[in-house]
Amino acid sequence: MKKWGKIFALVAAVLLVLSVAAFAQPKHWVVGFSQIGSEREWRTADTISVQNAFLEDPTFTLIYSDAQQRQENQIKAIRSFIARRVNAILFTALVETGYGPVLQEAKRAGIPVVMIDRDVAKEDRGLRLTIMGSDFIKEGEKAGEWLADYLKKKGLDDGKKAINIVELQGTTGSAPAIERKTGFANVLKSHANWKITRSQTGNFTSSEGKQVMEAFLKADKNIDVLYAHNDQMALGAIQAIKEAGLKPGKDIIIVGVDAVKGAFEAMVAGEMNASIECSPLLGPQAVLAMRDLRDGKKLPARIYTIEGIFDETNAAEALPTRQY
């Protein structure tokens, strides 16, 4: 009997330890991540940042889905996350509109949706919990403000002579294309002599950026500034400018967005003038948000990333430290 008593006490102790451990361990969560594709280094850095951050926390399993730049693939992916009853969904919207019905389905299933990088349209924002990433309007404004300072510093803008600007827009209908355009236009309003002479999409890729810039130059070489919604398109445009016999960064002032390594190399070579930082390293903040959500904490309505501006004055110094 004595022996049975001891065994009983031991089993009880083991059970107690196990239950305390189970209690202390956060519940395991499965998170579905619908990414738009893998257009270039920015997106790759973003995907890897998210995947690594979740890998580092064994209390999460991330299911990754690459939509290959097709909205219908994203809608399918979100439906499959709902069918698998994931605990939460991380979602980068390729374009702003068209996701209302699938977001309704997630809401009905009680699965929270957290946007990362690109948001959905205003009318659908009530269907997702929050958005983390960059302020694209501010990026457009920073590009415009940087340009105003630069033109002034170089004595190139007397407020009267026309400053002809061409714009390479990002993917049509995407949040960064819409908002980077809006932000830049906000600054344009206070410069009566600045004119956007041409504006077209280059779909955020260097090949399309190059093609569109070629067409711009063919139509009219009288271009003072190129504002590109991302560096990738600016880098493609630089090729087109060189092929047209002009000097990028000198004959045409070039401002991009993202601050990818290629832009730093171009700035150091004097072929590009500025890049507004847009960080793709969103993984750690995505994991933090998911932990808070799991712990029942309320997430803020917007989670912003802190970012800077790089140009000829600080590009060389920053280049060795760049992670993307």
Q: Are 26 and 61 in contact (CB under 8 A)?
A: no
Q: How far is the CB of 171 from ligand GYE (least distance, A)?
A: 7
3-state secondary structure of 162: coil
Closer to ligand GYE by Cβ: residue 87 or 206: 206
3-state secondary structure of 225: strand
Closer to ligand GYE by Cβ: residue 45 or 217: 45
Q: Which residues contact 147 (CB under 8 A, 6 or more apart)?
A: 187, 225, 227, 253, 255, 274
Q: How far is the CB of 217 from ligand GYE (least distance, A)?
A: 23
Q: How far is the CB of 43 from ligand GYE (least distance, A)?
A: 6
Q: How far is the CB of 245 from ligand GYE (least distance, A)?
A: 28
Q: How far is the CB of 278 from ligand GYE (least distance, A)?
A: 5
Q: Is 220 exposed, middle or buried (0-12, 13-18, 19+ CB in 10 A)?
A: exposed
Give the distance, in angstroms, between the CA of residue 97 and the centroid of all CA atoms in the same chain.
17
Q: How far is the CB of 103 from ligand GYE (least distance, A)?
A: 19
Give the Cα separation of 191 and 209 in Å (integer).
Answer: 26
Where on the chain is the footprint of ligand GYE (CB under 6 A)? 39, 42-43, 117-118, 176, 204, 230, 232, 257-258, 278
Give the Cα separation of 179 and 201 in Å (integer).
Answer: 14
Closer to ligand GYE by Cβ: residue 82 or 131: 131
Q: How far is the CB of 23 from ligand GYE (least distance, A)?
A: 40
Tell me which amino acid residue 148 is: A
Closer to ligand GYE by Cβ: residue 47 or 273: 47
Q: 44-79: string of b/e by CB count within 10 Å (b at 16+)?
A: ebbbebbeebbeeeeebebbebbbebebebbbebbe
Closer to ligand GYE by Cβ: residue 188 or 257: 257
Closer to ligand GYE by Cβ: residue 82 or 260: 260
Q: What is the DSSP letter of 172?
A: T
Closer to ligand GYE by Cβ: residue 111 or 278: 278
Q: Which residues contact 227 (CB under 8 A, 6 or more apart)?
A: 143, 144, 147, 165, 166, 167, 168, 184, 255
